[in-house]
Amino acid sequence: MTRFQERTGPIRLGMVGGGQGAFIGAVHRIAARIDGEYQLVAGALSSTPEKARASGRALGLDPERVYDDFAAMAAAEAARADGIEAVAIVTPNHMHAPAAKAFLAAGIHVICDKPLTATLEDAEDLAAAAAQSDMLFVLTHNYTGYPMVRQAQAMVAAGELGAIRVVQVEYPQDWLAEEAGPENKQADWRTDPARSGAGGATGDIGTHAVHLAGFVTGLKLERLAADLDAFVPGRRVDDNGHVLLRYEGGAKGMLWCSQVAVGNENAVRLRVYGEKGGLDWAQEEPNKLWFTPFGEPTRLLTRNGAGAAPVSQRLSRTPAGHPEGYLEGFANIYAEAAAAIRAHRTGARPDPGVSYPGIADGLFGVRFVAACIRSSQADAAWTALE
C-alpha cells in the first residue's frame, strides 16, 4: 500500500511560504484546521533560513521538518513513511510554479494560492506538469467556497434566471491608494512585477472577480476590452482596471477591480441578470443572496435559511443567523480538497457534489491577466483569450 492508503487520520500537510509576517499563510492554516481534516507537520516557511526556522518554532513544528527551501522539503518528505500528503503553497506568485512542480513530481498533492503563476509561460508549463501527474491540484479561489455563492450557482444551473444576459462583477479595495514602502511586505511584492507578474490589481483581485463570475454563471469568456491604469506615481503594475466582457452565447459583462478605490475594503460583488430574474451577492454580507424574479418583489435568501439549496446547506456549519464568512469559505475549499484527497487514497471517486477550483481555473486566470494587458496596451482593443 502507498503511504496515502495507510493513514486514516488527518491529512499530513506541509506549507511553502507563510512564515512570520505573512498574511495569507495564517489564513490557510486556519482554514485547514477548522474541520480537523489536516495537520501541519512540515514547512519551508521562508526564503530566509533563519526566518524559516523561527517560523517553524513558533508553529511548534519538529525542527527536523523545517526546511531551508522547498526542493529539500519535497525530496525529504517524499522519502518519509509519514511524509506530507499535501502541500499548501502561499509564496509570492513567481514561486508558485517551481514549488508546485517539485511537489507534484514528488507525488504530493498541491493546494496553491492564486493567481496560478506570475507569467503565462509558467502557467502553461505548470499546467502541463499537472496533467502528467496523478496528484491533485487545488487553487484557492476561496470566494467560490461561500454557501450563498454555491446557492447562486445552483439557481443559475436550474434555469431560475433563464438565459443569462448581463454579468456585473467588481472587487474594489483601497489599501494601495498611496505608495507603500518596503517595510510593507504585502505591498512590496504585490507591486513588483518580477514577483507578482505584470498584472497588479488584475492579477491579485481581478482573477478572483472573473473566476467568481464564470463559476456562478457557467459562461465561457471569449473576448475582453481592458483599460488598466497605475494611478499611484511610479507604480509598475496596474492598480485599477475596467474590463468589458463578451461571453460565449452572447452574454455581456463588466468587471471592475481596483486597489485605489478609497472607502472600500474587500467589496466583492456579483450581479447576474437573465431573462427571468436577477441575483445580487456581496462578499461583505456573504450570508445573504438577493433574488428578483421578473415582475415580482425581491426576495432575500439567507445561508441555511428557508429555501437554501442542498449544495449550500452542505457547506454551512451553523444555523441560519449565525454569521459565517471569509475563513469558513476558505475552509470549504480545504474541506472539498480533503474529500478528494481521501478518495484519491483508495482510487475511489469523491462525492459528485465535491467541487474546487483546479489547474484549468488557474490557467484561465493567468490568460485573463495577459489578455487584459494586451488589450490595454492596444488602447482597450477587443482581445481574445489565448
Domain shared by 204 and 153, yes or no: yes
Cell of 295: 415582475
Cell of 384: 481574445
Q: CB pairs under 8 A, 24+ apart, for 228-236?
A: 228/202, 228/372, 228/373, 228/376, 230/200, 231/260, 232/176, 232/177, 232/178, 232/179, 232/260, 233/179, 234/179, 235/179, 235/191, 235/200, 236/191, 236/192, 236/193, 236/200
- Give the per-residue pLDDT at 270: 99
Last residue of a domain, one of 75, 105, 135: 135
Q: Is residue 48 part of a domain?
A: yes
Domain shared by 97 and 222, yes or no: no
Q: Is residue 46 part of a domain?
A: yes
Domain residues for 69? 11-135
Q: Indicate if the alpha-carbon torsion angle 2, 70, 362, 180 is positive or negative.
A: positive
**118, 196 Cβ separation under 8 angstroms:** yes
pTM (two decimals): 0.95
Look up residue 109 and give its amino acid. H
**CATH code where residue 369 lies:** 3.30.360.10
Q: Burial, 111: exposed, middle or buried (Cβ in 10 Å; 0-12, 13-18, 19+)? A: buried
Cell of 343: 478518495
Q: Compute CA 381 distance to the chain's CA centroid, rounded to the nearest angstrom.
A: 28
**CATH code where residue 21 lies:** 3.40.50.720
Look up residue 3 and give its amino acid. R
- Give the per-residue pLDDT at 5: 39
Please give the tally of structural domains in the chain.
2
Domain shared by 51 and 161, yes or no: no
CB-based contacts of 295, cutoff 8 Å, min separation 6? none
CA angle (224, 292, 217) in 5-degree steps: 35
Q: Burial, 204: exposed, middle or buried (Cβ in 10 Å; 0-12, 13-18, 19+)? A: buried
- Give the per-residue pLDDT at 66: 98
Report the SS3 class of residue 278.
strand
Last residue of a domain, one of 74, 106, 135: 135
Domain shared by 128 and 61, yes or no: yes
Domain shared by 57 and 197, yes or no: no
Q: Is residue 329 part of a domain?
A: no
Domain shared by 244 and 171, yes or no: yes
Domain shared by 253 and 131, yes or no: no
Domain shared by 188 and 221, yes or no: yes
CB-based contacts of 83, cutoff 8 Å, min separation 6? 3, 12, 42, 76, 77, 108
Report the SS3 class of residue 349.
coil
CA–CA separation, 141 and 145 (whole Å) = 8
| pLDDT tens, residue order, the chain (386 aa) | 233 334 468 999 999 999 988 899 999 999 999 999 999 999 999 989 999 999 999 999 999 999 999 999 999 999 999 999 999 999 999 999 999 999 999 999 999 999 999 999 999 999 999 999 999 999 999 999 999 999 999 999 999 999 999 999 999 999 999 998 888 989 999 999 999 999 999 999 999 999 999 999 999 999 999 999 999 999 999 999 999 999 999 999 999 999 999 999 999 999 999 999 999 999 999 999 999 999 999 999 999 999 999 999 999 999 999 999 999 999 999 999 999 999 999 888 888 889 999 999 999 999 999 999 999 999 999 999 97
CA–CA separation, 35 and 324 (whole Å) = 14
If you search the block for the grid coordinates 507578474, which residue do you land on?
A: 197
CB-based contacts of 348, cutoff 8 Å, min separation 6? none
- Give the per-residue pLDDT at 142: 97
Q: Indicate if the alpha-carbon torsion angle 30, 22, 107, 353 is positive or negative.
A: positive
Strands (E), 67-139: 86-90, 109-112, 137-139
pLDDT digits (tens, 9 = 90+) for 174-227: 999 999 888 898 999 999 999 999 999 999 999 999 999 999 999 999 999 999
Strands (E), the chain: 11-17, 38-44, 86-90, 109-112, 137-139, 164-172, 221-229, 240-247, 252-258, 269-274, 277-282, 288-293, 299-302, 383-384
